[in-house]
Amino acid sequence: MARFRPVDSGQSFPALEERVLQRWRERDVFHESVRRRERAPRFVFYEGPPTANGRPGSHHVLSRVFKDVFPRYKTMRGHLVERKAGWDCHGLPVELEIERELGFQSKDDIERYGVAEFNAKCRESVLRYIDEWNLLTERIGFWIDTGEAYYTLDNSYIESVWWSLKQVFEKGLLTEGQRVVPYCPRCGTALSSHEVALGYRDVTDPSVYVRFPLRDEQGVSLLAWTTMPWTLVPHAAIAVDPGVAYVRARVGGEVLILAEALVERVLGGRAEVEQRLPGSQLLGLRYEPPFPYIGDYGERGHTVLAGDFVSVEDGTGVVHTGAAFGEDDFRLAQENGLRIHNPVRPDGRFDERTGPFAGMYVRDADPKIIDALRQSGRLFDAGEYEHSYPHCWRCDTPLLYYAKSNWYVRTTALKDELLAANEQVTWYPEHIKHGRFGNWLENNVDWALSRERYWGTPLPIWRAADGEIVCVGSRDELRELGAEVPDDLHRPYIDDASFQRDGKTFRRVPDLIDVWWDSGCMPFAQWHAPFENERRFEELFPADYICEALDQTRGWFYSLLAVSTMLFGRSSYETVLCLGLILDPEGQKMSKSKGNIVVPWDVIDAHGADAFRWYYFTSKQPWDGYRFSLETVGESVRQFLRALWNTYSFHVLYANVNEPGGESEPNDLDRWILSRLEATTERAIDRLDDYDTTFAGRAIAEFVDDLSNWYVRRSRRRFWDGDPAAFATLQHCLVTTAKLLAPLTPFVADEIYENLDGSEASVHLCDYPEPGKRDQQLEWQMQVARDAVELGRAARAQAKAKVRQPLHEAVVVAAERERAAIERFQELLLDELNVKRVRYVSQADELGRFELRPNYRSLGPRFGKLMPQVAAAVAGLDADRAARTLRDGGSVGINVDGKEHPLSADDVQLVLKPLEGYQVERAGTHAVALELTLDEELRREGLAREVVHAVQAARKAAGLNVEDRISLTLGGDGELLAAARAHEAYVTGETLATAVAYDGSDGCAPAEIDGRELRIGVEPA
């Protein structure tokens, strides 16, 4: 009776995984794995909520498998790891998708359509692909509680977010202010600095040099430069650096004023410098603005002012400013009492104050503006300028910087606390901590929180006509204030909730908040804390582990840290793993337009989820990024999973055929592979504890390679003979490997465990293996022996000697410990190298004769023209004696030009000329030589081995099982038959032939050996 379920050696992994999934469902393995650890110490994981309004891509698979592997590992290591799923439901991305579907161009379209209807569509769309997400999540083996998921659109979630804002408000950190903000004119809303950081792109903008003629001096102009001509329409003032040297330079009939350092670059050789003067002498000069439409900037408008932001790196050192269109400009305007005019409407178009440009989208107006400047004689030069410019991270519109009123969270007031909180966090990779993320915190700017949009968490600020404001922290609080609390806290319903106090009516400020604040609140908002589940929150705060892509340093990693630092004075996570980008094999970003996107389902259908996971876990350090294609994932199957599967199916096949009985003593090979297993367990734990799947996985892969390509291969005979020790060893190795692999490749691990052991319902209910005692000396000795085998094999390949041809002798260079090591495994060496005996020598020079050659690289510089004489002198040395001296660290002398010169080991190359008839292979101080001379007997034995090989192929072709006995008929070339006869016992033993006849002819299949014909007939006996 078969002990194990038979295994298909050509098993399709995707089909296998479907079967394993079915078993997990039936046995409820995920929940059971959590239940079993109910009272165990916790390991806390937070799910960074994805948005389900788009289909999941291969980069989502990357983050999801890394979110899976450590919770699985920690569970097996004895922790309680609850995993609550979450979905990010709010924000601009969602609105944009609906706008696109409805063909909307602007916010006016939404208002006309109706905010209630629009938001209903948003609500419906955010979970549009949730089924596909859940399907993929299950299929890739990402264990997470999707049934218990949190949704950022729930009233309970919103209420917790309101609570957080009220805390911040009461600390005086939530304020309103007029500032210059990055603004997306298409989306009609300001963005936060972390959103801006997500959207930099290289663009080509106009580069224009513009004359600003002085009022009081004919023919003299200030020369300014800008890449945003549209800002010239609302031009306010000019800034110079008082401490910098400027010049008046004559060019043709005019005089231009610009920084001395830039004259050459801007004017080239045409200019003649008339006067040098410090910037301070320019202050207060009056000039004509380029356009007349907006005039009144106050007393200091259209004059030269001192600015601390003027650069002489580019431009002219004379800076045009539009007051409302840049942070520096705005500050300059405030310092100098300029009036602020912003003639750009929220949709990015000029308003009616701008003459011929009214109604035009500002960037589209650039060419017209340049034309107008040309016609009025103000244009000095126009060209193009390539630079990196921020775009809306969602709709890709170039951002505008302009002054408007906004709500801010004053994160700058907490900079030191944020930096201190970051110190508590362990980052992978480490350099992010004080690099990318640390710098981000160092350069912190206040969080622009409000958004003038529709679908999101409403800003809980109510305001009276006189400006008095109330921040509301809960539904109850709003009710107590006398407002009617709607069933749905979203706009437009919440906009109707107003209340009276002190005879004043308070109405909600219509803004929403930044969606990143939502996700930063998930540690408590996922539990609706502090309104309920406060203990759950406390038990699960902070997270031990979070993981997302690298770009979240300015997204979720930041919002989590900032929110929890403000509320709880610490980071909400202790360890964070950052994942790199996924590129195509050419290193290009994947995009729809390039058509190089790899759909995750295609990968899973072709190779399976384990292969997908294994590729992500082991091919790179995960932050280094991936060059990804269907084929690269296929490599994980070929190089690892297939090798594992073959070893497993070999074990099952032979165990079922040769059901071992009784007991036998383990041999050195058994002891060796068991010690390697302990070493691998040690290494896997060490690496996974350090959040390193790459080297944990590679250690396991090396073990599987040792197991299949050394242990099993060297033990075939024992499996054939039903040796119980060999079966027990392989069984233990495979079951333990399944456990080691379980967090990484959960499907194949479970299948192997289930068939070979199955004492638990799943491998995922087992404890992770603990390392046991190793025999390090044995491991070392085996390595020495294997290195010798490698050298011997290389020598055979070099000599093009066939592997099945036995040779007389291998000569191995090894002394003392190494010789003892190889002698311990001498049988194995003889067999692997297919030689009749091993001879040991202690020095490589016994394998041949050394020749000395001058090392030109070291001697050339020293001797120069004398090199020919040096070469002759080296050639004249006693090579063997010199080689010994040099190898022992001594020096040898040569006489050149009547003088004695010492040469060291660096000065000469020792080239070993092998003995006649031998092939030598060296690596460092190790060397193996094979004697290549054959006699008749060796040749005949070689042919007999070829015959066996051909018969085995014929058995396979005839579809015989490994254990089937045959009746063998051979025919053909006389010499081959003579060889088979001479080694008949060997031939029949190897091929399981009960009888052999040598009269084979027509009925037999032909084979060819060394150009000779062999005819083979195999019949079941």
Which residues contact Zn ion by CB under 5 A? 184, 186-187, 392, 395, 397
Instruction: Tell me whether residue 73 is exposed, middle or buried, using C-beta atoms within 10 angstroms of its C-beta: 0 to 12, 13 to 18, 19 or more.
Output: buried
Is residue 49 annotated as part of the catalytic site, yes or no?
A: yes
Q: Give the span between the Cα atoms of 216 and 286, in whole angstroms.
A: 7
Distances (CA, A) of 141 to 24, 65, 95, 237, 908: 10, 8, 32, 62, 60
Question: Which of 395/413 has CB closer to Zn ion?
Answer: 395
Instruction: Tell me whether residue 375 is exposed, middle or buried, using C-beta atoms within 10 angstroms of its C-beta: 0 to 12, 13 to 18, 19 or more.
Output: exposed
CB 236 within 8 A of CB 322: yes
Least gap, CB of 401 to Zn ion (angstroms): 14
Is residue 88 annotated as part of the catalytic site, yes or no?
A: yes
Which residue in 108, 131, 504, 589 is the catalytic one? 589
Question: Which of 103/292 has CB closer to Zn ion?
Answer: 103
Is residue 121 annotated as part of the catalytic site, yes or no?
A: no
- Element at 23 (helix H, strand E): helix 13-27
Least gap, CB of 399 to Zn ion (angstroms): 8
Q: SS3 for 100?
A: helix
Least gap, CB of 516 to Zn ion (angstroms): 15
Question: Which of 290/390 has CB closer to Zn ion?
Answer: 390
Q: Give the span between the Cα atoms of 290 and 947, in whole angstroms.
A: 96
Q: What are phi and psi of 116, to 5 degrees?
A: -60, -45
Instruction: Tell me whether residue 466 is exposed, middle or buried, using C-beta atoms within 10 angstroms of its C-beta: 0 to 12, 13 to 18, 19 or more.
Output: exposed
Distances (CA, A) of 993 to 46, 722, 982, 985: 64, 19, 16, 10
The angle at the Cα of 965, spanning 964 to 971, to the nearest 5 degrees, equals 120
Q: Give the span between the Cα atoms of 47 and 67, in whole angstroms.
A: 8
CB 791 within 8 A of CB 927: yes
Largest CA distance in the chain: 121
Q: SS3 for 1008?
A: strand
Q: Which residue is nearest to Zn ion (CB)?
A: 392
Question: Which of 392/598 has CB closer to Zn ion?
Answer: 392
Least gap, CB of 88 to Zn ion (angstroms): 18
Which residue in 24, 440, 556, 672 is the catalytic one? 556
Paired with 929 in beta bridges are: 811, 920
**Residue type at 324?**
A
Residue 186: CB atoms within 10 A of its CB come to: 20
Is residue 589 annotated as part of the catalytic site, yes or no?
A: yes
Question: Which of 184/673 has CB closer to Zn ion?
Answer: 184
Q: SS3 for 380?
A: strand
Least gap, CB of 102 to Zn ion (angstroms): 16
Question: Which of 400/562 has CB closer to Zn ion?
Answer: 400
The angle at the Cα of 931, spanning 928 to 933, to the nearest 5 degrees, equals 165
Q: SS3 for 977?
A: helix
CB 353 within 8 A of CB 343: yes
Q: Give the span between the Cα atoms of 123 and 666, in whole angstroms.
A: 66
Q: Give the span between the Cα atoms of 607 and 717, in whole angstroms.
A: 33
Which residue in 225, 393, 516, 517 is the catalytic one? 516
CB 849 within 8 A of CB 808: no
Question: Which of 452/705 has CB closer to Zn ion?
Answer: 452
Region of 504 (left: φ > 0; alpha: ψ -120 to 50; beta: rest) is beta
Is residue 74 annotated as part of the catalytic site, yes or no?
A: no
Q: Give the span between the Cα atoms of 301 and 332, in whole angstroms.
A: 11
Which residue in 592, 773, 865, 899 is the catalytic one? 592
Which residue in 14, 74, 88, 517 is the catalytic one? 88
Question: Which of 50/390 has CB closer to Zn ion?
Answer: 390
Q: Give the span between the Cα atoms of 991 and 167, in whole angstroms.
A: 82
Question: Which of 106/175 has CB closer to Zn ion?
Answer: 106
Least gap, CB of 186 to Zn ion (angstroms): 5
Least gap, CB of 104 to Zn ion (angstroms): 13
Is residue 516 annotated as part of the catalytic site, yes or no?
A: yes
Which residue in 552, 731, 781, 919 is the catalytic one? 552
Question: Which of 198/643 has CB closer to Zn ion?
Answer: 198
CB 619 within 8 A of CB 637: no
Q: Which of 85, 65, 82 is nearest to 74 (CA)?
A: 82
Question: Which of 71/91 has CB closer to Zn ion?
Answer: 91
Q: What are phi and psi of 36, to 5 degrees?
A: -65, -20
Which residue in 49, 182, 185, 743 is the catalytic one? 49
| CA-only gyration radius of the chain, Å | 40
Least gap, CB of 189 to Zn ion (angstroms): 8
Is residue 552 annotated as part of the catalytic site, yes or no?
A: yes
Residues marked active site are found at 49, 88, 516, 552, 556, 589, 592
